[in-house]
Structure formats: structure tokens, C-alpha cells
Amino acid sequence: MLEVTALSKSFDGFKAVNNASLSVKDGEVVAVIGPNGAGKTTLFNLITGVIRPDGGKVVFRGKDITGLKPYQVCRRGISRSFQVVNVFPRLSVFENVQVSVLSRQKKTWNLFAPSSKFAVAETEKILENVGLTDVGDATSAALSHGERKVLEIAIALGGNPEFLILDEPTAGMSPEETSRCIDLIRQLKEKLGITILFCEHDMEIVFSISDRIMVMVHGSTVIQGTCNEVRCCQEVQDAYLGGSDVCLM
Amino acid sequence: MTGSFLRKRSLWVIATLVVLFLFPVFLDRFYVYLAAIILLTGLCATSLNFVLGYGGVYQFHHAVFYGAGAYGTALMILKTGLSPWLGFIVGPVVAAMLGFIIGLICVRLSKLYFGMLQISLGSLVWAIIYRWYSFTGGDDGIHGVPLPDIISSPNGGYYFTLIVTSISMFVLYRMIKSPFGSALQGIRDNPVRSEMIGVNVRLQQLLALTIAGFFGGVAGALFVVVDNTVFPDMMFWTVSLELVIMCLLGGWLSYLGPMVGAAIIVLLRTYISGITVYWALALGIIMMLVIFFLPNGVLGYLDRFLKKKARAR
């Protein structure tokens, strides 16, 4: 479904992403792991068009999407949530999701009919799926951190994506919030059939929900493989455990 | 939102309109004139707030479109033999086109850079109008624009202003509540995320700027009706600053905020100018007080006050 080959990006000579490759098949959940500063977020930014790569290719569903603008990438069916909460602070929770649905339905050029006539059922459905129905009328600034992270995902779902990129979805969540969030990700995969690419520091989550894992160090792909392949890969252990030969986890 | 609340709100709107319609019956000519100026200035500030408060675009030189609408209307009436009514359409269209062109140049820049470039381009337009004696009358402006009989009397002009302003305010309100408006407010809150959910941010903003220019132009055309003159200083940058202050003073996050701000500023200007020539000094002090004590403007303050009271009950 998504094929990333030899993607590179430098900032002032620092190679943030260097020759990274990644493949995601239809219906898979793929995790990207790596130490801080390995270039995971930059990789996501490159795929979604926030920044343009210096070299390499991103192919989605057989079509080259390298260097497209973010809104064009989104319209191809790729949605994304952010590591740092990135919502619409003055809009209500409902409106946050609604604007995303409206955008996908290409209603944003409709000037005269009231918004309240559009996208309501679908927005309510999404809020129900992620469990934010009760706080629909609150402004997003009034939510707890965990709820805001869920709202992040809900906004991304507004685009009815085939492919969802989650940048550390559980960062900063309490244990209960984390387990609810994991359930949500599982549901997205199983019930809605969404293909998911995510990055995460919590190895327990990574190994419990992903089909395959890609490991990044210093901007480059070390390995991409199943959980077991990754667990026993020598280079991964070097990167994480300083060369000890104990299997991860 | 409950039905009773909606009904209550439309009642308020109707009551206000009735009072405004009765103004000429019990007010002197001067106050009718003043009310018309407040209405059209308020419309101009509201059209600015469409992009400033709802779109998050730093439109620092909105008066250019106000002036363009006025000049477009006046010149159309004077220079062509066509019906004066046509002038009232041409003026706003000229302003909208100017809004589109300036927007096209500026929209790739963000925030303050947008504002700075816009001030320069707007000042350029002002300089052209100011210098082009043969066509625009230069710094003398144009006086005595011939108007259709029905709106040439003070009361006729007032009613025309009231009707056009009401319609424009209604249309702008509908646009803010439309999907377009939702997307626009999304862009204000978070342009990066808006782009990520598939909104073409620049194009959306460009259309908003064109619309804002159009209604700024409508306000300008109304000024021709009420005052019968146009002059280059209508589009001097200090006027734009006053418009921004109106939005902030009234409350740029509430729809009627700019209208309230316009009423306060126009009234204060009228009365303080009668006492002292240092009107700008008073304006500066007002601005400081607003920033310190009413960061959300008069209506923002009232809104919070009423909510607090409702909760206390």
C-alpha cells in the first residue's frame, strides 16, 4: 500500500532522515521505533508532505506522492495525528471533527448553507467510536491531555482514511487512557480495516499491536520485519541495549 | 442550542431593526447621519473581522477596500452616463477584485509578513488615488456625487444604508456559519492541521479575502450615499488601524463585536473631536485600556459576565 524508498532529508547538513525505506501492506499495523532523534517524526512529515524530501520516493497505492502538498496527500486517503497535540483550540470537540469531515466531503466551498446541516451524523459516529461523545460541546482547550490525544486521532479519522499515521498516540497518557487508546487502535484496524503506521516509545504497546516493525537509527532503516525478527536482530540490540546479547523483552 | 433561545435571538434582531427604522422619526438630522456612519463603518469593521477574527489573517490595511468601493461607485456614477444604481454594484466588485489581487500577492506570507506587505500594497493604491488628479480628483477627492432621488435625502440615504447593511450583515453571518466558515475558523486556529485534513488553506483564505474586500467595498459605496463625497484619506492606513481597533474593542471573537466597536469609536471620535484636536491621543489611551482590561473586547466581556451570572443562579 505504502512504499517508501531511500528517503532522505537534511537540515543544515544534519541528516535527519538518511536513506530510509519502509513498506506497509494493506490492512497491516506497522510500528516505527528508534531512539529519540532517530528521525521518526521527520519521516512522517516527509510522507505527509509537511516537508519535501531531498531524495527518495514515496509511493502510495501505486502512485508517486513524493513532494505533494499536505492537503493533496490527505485527499489521497492518508490521515495523520500528531505527537504534540495539534487541534483547533477555539472550536468545540464536535467542530474539531466536523471540520475534518466537511473537508473530506469537499464542502468547504459551500458559503450559504449552515454547517449544522452537514456531516453531523458522521461526526457523531466518530466521536462515539473514540468515546468523546460526552465532551462534544466542550472546547478542546478544556479537555484533559489524554482526551486531547484521542481528539487528535478523531480529527484524523474525519478524513475517513485508508491509511492512518499516528505519531506517538499514547505519549503522556495515564495507564488507563493508554489501554483504552490501544483498544481503539485495534478496533480501527479490525472494524474499519484501516492500515496503520505509528511510532511509539513503549515497547510493550509496539509488540502487542503491530504486525511488523521498522527500526530507525540515525535517520536510516536498520531493519523492517516481524516482531520476532526485530527482537533478535543484533543491530537493534546494539542501538537499544548497548551491545548486550539479551533478546529485547 | 435550544429553539427558545433561537427565537429569543431573532426577537432581539427584529426589535433592534424596528428601533433603527424609527430613528429618523424621533432623531435630528445630525444623529441620523451619525447612525448611518456607524452602520456602514460597523459593516466595514465586520467585513474586516471576517478575515481577521474568523480567518486569522492579519489584514492590516482593510480601508483600501472601503476606499476602492467608494471610488468605484463615485467614478462609475460620474464618468459614465449609466444608471447610478450600477455604481453601487461596480464599487463593491472593484473592491472585491482588488481584494483578490492583493490577497493573491500576500496570501503566501503568514501573519505579520502578510500584514506588512498588505500595508505597503494598500499604501500604493492610496498613493495612486492621491496623485491621479485627472481621474480621481487627487487629494481634493470628489464632492457632490449625483445620486438617485430616492436615496439622496438624508432619510433616504439612512434607510438605504440600514437595509444594505442589514442584508450584508446577514449574508456575512450565514457565511461564517457555513462549512466555508467552519473551515476558515479551523485555519485561524491551526493552519498546519487544516492543511493536514485536506483543506487548501491558501485558496480558502484567498476567497475569504475577496469576500471581505467586497463587503468593505459595500461599506464604501454606502459612504458615498451618506456623505456624498469620496476622498483619498478614506483609505489612508490610519483608517485601517481604526478598523482593527474597532474589532478589538468590540470583541473580535463575537460576530457583533466590530459593530459595537465601530459605534463606540465613531461616537467618541465625534464628541472628543469637538473638545480637542488630540483625538488620536484619546484613541491611544482607549486602546491601552482595552488591551489591559478587556482582552476579549466589550462583547467578550459581557458574554463572560452573563455566563458567570447564569452559572451563579
Strands (E), chain B: 142-143, 229-230
What pLDDT, on the 0 to 100 scale, is given for residue B58?
Answer: 92
pLDDT at B1: 43
A52 and A172 assigned to the same domain = yes
Instruction: Let me know if residue A237 belongs to a domain.
Output: yes
Domain check: are A18 and A92 in the same one? Answer: no
Same domain, A154 and A172: no
Whether residues A9 and A61 share a domain: the answer is yes
Calculate the average pLDDT of chain A: 87
Shortest alpha-carbon distance between residue A206 and chain B (Å)? 25
- Cβ separation A79–B188 shorter than 8 A: no
Q: What are phi and psi of A33, to 5 degrees?
A: -125, 165
Query: Is A175 found in the same domain as A248?
Result: yes
Mean pLDDT for the stretch of residues A133-157:
90
pLDDT score of A246: 47
Residue B311, Cβ density class (10 Å: 0-12 exposed, 13-18 middle, ≥19 buried): exposed
Joined grid coordinates for residue A41: 517524526
**What are φ and ψ of residue A42, in 5° steps?**
-60, -40
Asked if B189's CB is within 8 angstroms of A71's CB, the reply is: no
Give chain B's contact residues with A (Cβ, < 8 Å): 174-175, 177-183, 185-186, 188-190, 192-201, 204, 207, 253
**Whether residue A109 is found in the same domain as residue A187:** no
Asked whether residue A63 is assigned to any structural domain, the reply reads yes
pLDDT in tens, A38-47: 888 999 999 9
Least confident of A82-86, A120-124, B187-191: A82-86
Last residue of a domain, one of A160, A175, A198: A160
Residues A203-216: tens digit of each pLDDT:
888 888 889 999 88
Q: Is A140 in the same domain as A182?
A: no
Residue A67 forms part of a structural domain = yes
Is residue A249 over pLDDT 80? Answer: no
Inter-chain contact B199–A114, Cβ cutoff 8 Å? Answer: no
Rounded CA separation B235/B37 (Å): 16
Instruction: Tell me chain A's radius of gyration from C-alpha atoms.
Output: 18
3-state secondary structure of B110: coil
Residue B25 CA to chain centroid, in angstroms? 27
C-alpha B30/C-alpha B39 separation (Å) is 14
Contact between B67 and B126 (Cβ < 8 Å)? yes
Residues A176, A108 share a domain: no
**Cell reading at A65:** 506522492
Interface predicted TM-score (ipTM) of this complex, two decimals: 0.85
Structural domain harbouring A131: 88-160
CB < 8 Å from B in window 161-220 of A: none
A224's grid cell: 523492517
Q: Decide if A38 is inside a domain.
A: yes
End-to-end, the C-alpha distance of chain A in Å comes to 30
CA–CA distance, B278 with B236 (Å, rounded to integer): 18
Position A78 pLDDT exceeds 50: yes
Whether A55 and A129 map to the same domain: the answer is: no
From A84's Cα to the closest Cα of chain B, the distance in A is 12
pLDDT for B116 equals: 93
Do A171 and A52 reside in the same domain of the chain?
A: yes
DSSP string, A23-77: EE-TT-EEEEE-STTSSHHHHHHHHHTSS--SEEEEEETTEE-TT--HHHHHHTT
Please indicate whether, in this complex, the C-beta atoms of B198 and A69 are within 8 angstroms of each other. no
Domain count along chain A: 2
Judge contact between A223 and A233, C-beta under 8 A. Answer: yes
Look up the CATH number of the domain holding residue A2: 3.40.50.300
What pLDDT score was predicted for residue B313?
63
Count of CA atoms in the C-beta half-sphere (13 A) of B127: 6
Going residue by residue through chain B (313 aa), what tens digit of pLDDT does each one get? 445 565 678 888 899 999 998 888 888 889 999 999 999 999 999 999 999 999 999 999 999 999 999 999 999 998 887 888 999 999 999 999 999 999 999 998 878 899 999 999 999 999 999 988 888 888 888 888 888 888 888 889 999 999 999 999 999 999 999 999 999 999 999 999 999 999 999 999 999 999 999 999 999 999 999 999 999 999 999 899 999 999 999 988 889 999 999 999 999 888 888 888 888 888 888 888 888 888 888 888 888 888 787 777 6
User: A156: which chain B residues are within 8 Å (Cβ-Cβ)?
Assistant: 197
Are A140 and A188 part of one and the same domain?
no
* Contact list, A111 vs chain B (CB under 8 Å): 174-175, 178, 180
- Do the Cβ atoms of A91 and B201 come within 8 Å? no
Residues A29 and A58 in one domain: yes
Q: Percentage of chain A with pLDDT > 90?
A: 37
Q: How far is B34 from chain A (nearest CA, A)?
A: 32
Report if residue A83 sits inside a domain: no
Whether A82 is covered by a domain: the verdict is: no
Structural domain ending residue among the three candidates A137, A160, A183: A160
Q: Note whether residue A32 is domain-resident.
A: yes
Residue where a domain stops, chosen among A97, A130, A160: A160
Compute the distance between CA of residue B38 and CA of residue B261 in angstroms, rounded to an integer: 10
Domain assignment of residue A245, yes or no: yes
